[in-house]
Structure 1
């Protein structure tokens, strides 16, 4: 018989299995923000190559990053793919970081999320990652790895949208910002393992989708 567990119990099991992750992997805020844009629609191996290029060229100095010629920026981030769009998105995000993030940090989480979604190239997933790892807000990231694991654990019948799953989990989401950021990291790291550990578990969401 399948064992039913809650979101909190899933988090605790993953913690026990994988240990603390301490995401986001970066040596500076500028590198972290850059990685959040470059990881869109690719894998971390490709992102690492782009980050290495940018590190050699700018050492992630904000002024140097923003003063890069757009064609040079595209060349440096080419390993991450979609480099024409990502060059624009990266400039937009780093400019907002320089000019707006200090003021935005005083906003409520829903209002802050709207501001982030208004930035060029920032969708639901990247906005939530920014909320977690830059703004230290408790939120849930319903990304590909999470969606796949939750389906495997029979949390829903028909695949929900990103926002449907996010809202279902956050219906009763008593996670601190640190726990929420660790939960996202654990879900992604577990997803990369392609493990069958949870095959005999059923995940019960706080509300139905």
Structure 2
């Protein structure tokens, strides 16, 4: 196996040896965006608690978030951390969603990404989460899980999400992924990252993947 696999080869390797689970777990388009905002700087298990609280109080809709008192919203999303900032971010996103969601399918991907980034609280990773899972746009999620995997696979990455996206987007285009494959790829990478943590790090887990792939070679 070469020191540096193509993105298509990385996808195939993970697809053969990892079960991705369900990504993005949500019942509605709006819930995907809410989850993407709430998961900033926190674990998904905490996001699930916050989303459950929003559902219990019938606030998990753009109309519900827009109308709920901000102090009440802070209390509901407390498990996700940074509740003061995230309450404001959710209200900003709800306003954007109510105005733009119905016509978003008419907007070219790069323009839609720019529009999302203009919402205070929506950064590059959050915007790409929404593009991929809410709007079915063919984007790769360059999150910490992905960057750790790519570094272990031999890619020399710049620091940060956006510099990495700019430097390696051509690798994604060359692989000619469908939207479904990109969604699955993200799930595979997240799950592989969990396995890597249990294994003691990506270096150890990468060796395991290489060993598991050997019988199919040749």
Q: TM over 0.5: same fold?
A: yes
Consecutive unaligned residues in structure 2, runs of 5 or more: 211-218
Q: Shift in Å at residue 131 of structure 1? A: 0.6
**Counterpart in 2 of 1:15?**
15
**Counterpart in 2 of 1:153?**
153
Consecutive unaligned residues in structure 1, runs of 5 or more: 202-209
- 1:1-209 mapped onto 2 (5 Å cutoff): 3-58=3-58, 60-156=60-156, 159-172=158-171, 173=173, 174-194=176-196, 195=199, 196-199=204-207
Instruction: Please identify runs of 4+ aligned residues in structure 1 that moved more than 6 A.
Output: none
d(CA) in 2 for partners of 1:59, 1:17? 39
Q: Name whichever of 61-70 and 109-118 sits farther off.
A: 61-70
TM-score norm. by structure 2 comes to 0.84
Q: Shift in Å at residue 29 of structure 1? A: 2.5
Contact 2:20 2:184 in 1 (8 A): yes
Q: Greater share of helix residues, 1 or 2?
A: 2
Q: Shift in Å at residue 67 of structure 1? A: 1.1
Q: Shift in Å at residue 52 of structure 1? A: 1.3
Aligned residue for 2:5, secondary structure, equals strand
TM-score norm. by structure 1 comes to 0.87
Q: Shift in Å at residue 163 of structure 1? A: 2.2
Q: Shift in Å at residue 3 of structure 1? A: 4.4
Equivalent pairs counted in the alignment come to 200
**Counterpart in 2 of 1:206?**
none
When the two chains are superposed, the root-mean-square deviation of aligned CA atoms in Å is 1.9
Q: Name whichever of 128-137 and 145-154 sits farther off.
A: 145-154
d(CA) in 1 for partners of 2:102, 2:113? 14
